[in-house]
Amino acid sequence: MAGSINKVILVGNLGKDPEVRMTQEGVKVVNLALATSEQWRDKDTQERKERTEWHRVVIFNERIADVADKYLRKGSKVYIEGQLQTRKWTDQEGKERYTTEVVVPRFRGELTMLDSARSTGMDAESPTIAPSNNSAREASTSIEHLDDEVPF
């Protein structure tokens, strides 16, 4: 479908320290567990309610991954821009499994640290990290392919 958009914007807090791994090609990939919460007051009881949603975030952009690895910690508040991707795999018992993740691709996406510089150990204000315009080189580097098929 021409003109479709796949863009996710989240503001939340990390539930644990970033998990860093390297691909077979030596490219850094960072996984984040990001919590977003909404609060409301129950109409009937006037009781304050809260619901937390957990999001898996995978950062393939090397510059953004470096910043996430260096400065983010459990509890860090961040703004993340990426896209939704669902991938499929077969587990050890032979069952097909699916997971949906917010992916910050190699040549798009954004990460803004919303914590104060003091709480992250930085000397300056928290940066906004957007990818470089070197997309041709980055796009040509192979990554683990995520399944493009919709699971239904």
Model confidence pLDDT, tens digit, residues 21-40: 999 999 999 999 999 999 99
pLDDT band at 115 (very low <50, low <70, confident <90, very high): confident
Q: Is the pLDDT of residue 119 over 50?
A: yes
**CATH architecture of the domain with range 8-140:** Beta Barrel (2.40)
Instruction: Write the CA distances from 135 to 27, 95, 101, 107, 124, integer angstroms.
Output: 15, 36, 22, 5, 28
Separation CA 130–CA 109 (nearest Å): 6
**Sequence-ordered list of residues with C-beta below 8 angstroms from that of 86, at least 6 positions apart, any chain:** 98, 99, 100, 101, 146, 147, 150, 151
What does residue 82 show for φ and ψ, rounded to 5 degrees?
-160, -150
Any idea where the domains of the chain sit in the sequence? 8-140
- pLDDT at position 2 is 73
